[in-house]
A = this chain, B = another copy of it.
């Protein structure tokens, strides 16, 4: 297909496709004449992946380039590629305090979760736990356990649908599956809070201060 069809089918404007070609994020097409190249399904797949990484994940192009390098490196297992993609989704700064980091390490060790020691998501969790301290509170261990349990159940469902036909599709689905579902899960939890509150406090009245 010509670049115009590639743009149309991917929903990415021609100017942006040319930009991705110049930036080496998209491999060149097959030259047909001095001024025209032909593109195929692999270019379409790659464009969709770039779009998921930029538009949905909001990653800067430098990070997108590194994820794509991992996808293209035949010596890296799909596990390593997905690990690189997952790591790219979290920011590692600002660092969290040692207590919160130890709590995260302990949780992951007890659950035997295979998470890279350098994953920035560890720090993201530690920072989220630290936020309770600002209000003089702490998330109880039992609640954290239930959260971890349900998070794993959700992740298992999410990744059950990740196809292993091409590495690009696997990465695209993993990124989309991680990010697009986040607002869905948060909205559902808020609705569930409304339901649980309505049932618990519907009849009773509580003492006024």
- The reply to whether the CB of A24 lies closer than 8 angstroms to some CB of chain B is no
Bound complex: CA A185 to CA B206 (Å): 30
Q: Is the CB of B83 within 8 A of A194?
A: yes
Q: How far is the CB of A62 from chain B (nearest CB, A)?
A: 21
Q: A79 touching B201 by the CB < 8 A rule? A: yes
User: Within 8 Å CB of A139, what residues of B?
Assistant: 180-181, 184
Could you say which interface size class chain A belongs to? 35 or more
Using A128-B183, A198-B114 as known contacts, say yes or no to A193 and B78 having CB atoms under 8 A apart.
no
* Number of copies of this kind of chain in the complex: 2
Tell me whether A193 and B150 are in contact (CB under 8 A). Answer: no
Interface contact B194-A115, CB-CB below 8 Å: yes
Most buried by B among A42, A74, A82, A197: A197
Interface residues of A in 162-195 (CB under 8 A from B): 162, 164-168, 170, 174, 176-178, 180-195
Inter-chain contact A191/B108, CB cutoff 8 Å: yes
Kindly specify which of A13-21, A29-37, A45-53 makes contact with the partner chain: A45-53
- For residue A101, CB closer than 8 A to chain B, the reply is no
Q: Are A125 and B157 in contact (CB under 8 A)?
A: no
Residues of A within 8 A of B (CB): 11, 42, 45, 48, 51-52, 55-56, 74, 77-79, 82-83, 86, 89-90, 108, 113-116, 119, 121-122, 124-125, 127-129, 131-132, 134-137, 139-140, 142-144, 146-148, 150-159, 161-162, 164-168, 170, 174, 176-178, 180-202, 204-209
